[in-house]
Amino acid sequence: MANVIFFSSCQATKFLKDGEKFLRSSNIILKTNGRVQNKILLKEELNTLIKQKPRESILHVPRYWFYYVAKDKKSKLARFARKQFAQDPPIFNENDVKETVKAFENFLRYKKGFFNVKVDYKIYEEKYVVDVDFIIHTGKRYVIKDVNFECEDNKLCDIIKKDSIDSYLKPGDGLDYLNYDLEKIRITNLLQNNSYATFNQNAIELYGDSADYKTSLHILIKNPPEDSFRIYKTGKIEIFTDYYPEQTVKSLKSDTIENLVFYHELPDYLIN
């Protein structure tokens, strides 16, 4: 096995041009001020922002080796290797590292509430490979001090406040734009299920006031241009007790109980 790994590595490096090296690893090192909620999840989210990533290996053989050995070959075995195993070679590009640094800072600052974040990187080079460490100094995270709902239609706020126990924005939690998106979905579903069928997320706005790493969130629920959201009520409900596709209303008898209309052909039917 060691011979195979050594051979595959040598075979891959011979395709490198002058000055080129393979990216072997990218590591995220989080240096935080105090405890960070869901730190593992945060690293997973950051990992998705890395512009250039190392390639996977199969039995310690880098998958880009299959890219080289099967390239431009037309045999069935070569086509199989390209389809099942090969990945493009990760030729190291420092510009991708710099772009990743910007992406990390923007994400942590504007999506996660780490407004004082600073991201550095270190490059460790060997003859044919490069390892990169991203060192993230998050600084102190801003947290939610309180949440205030402000509605142009007070009836909407009454509904929202009664259901606030299910809110995704809770005092003490770190600022997180994902939770704001979830909160908009929650409010929209809540109001639609309470007869405001035309309510939509575009009516929801967020702004905040911050001091001493604490933020008071203000969620504004605006009225649409036509002044207010219409309340929809359930009208007449029609129930066909013995329905079949060719059935017509004219051929049926009906009975009404409150706002329920029962259509039937058979003389007897049961209402529980």
The ranges assigned to domains in the chain are 19-54+93-139, 143-221, 234-272
pLDDT of residue 262: 75
**What architecture does CATH give domain 143-221?**
Roll (3.10)
pLDDT of residue 198: 83
- 19-54+93-139 and 143-221 share one CATH topology? yes
pLDDT of residue 58: 61
pLDDT of residue 266: 64
pLDDT of residue 69: 63
Tokens describing residue 177: 């734009």
DSSP string for 32-52: ESS--TTHHHHHHHHHTT-SS
What is the mean pLDDT of each successive set of 10 residues along the chain, which is 272 residues long?
Answer: 42 74 91 82 94 72 63 61 62 94 97 95 92 96 94 90 92 93 94 86 91 93 67 67 70 73 66 51
Burial code (b: 16+ CB inside 10 Å, e: under 16) for 40-69 equals: eebeeebeebbebebbeeeeebbbbbbbbb
pLDDT of residue 4: 42
Contact status, residue 148 vs residue 221, Cβ threshold 8 Å: no
The class that CATH gives domain 19-54+93-139 is alpha beta
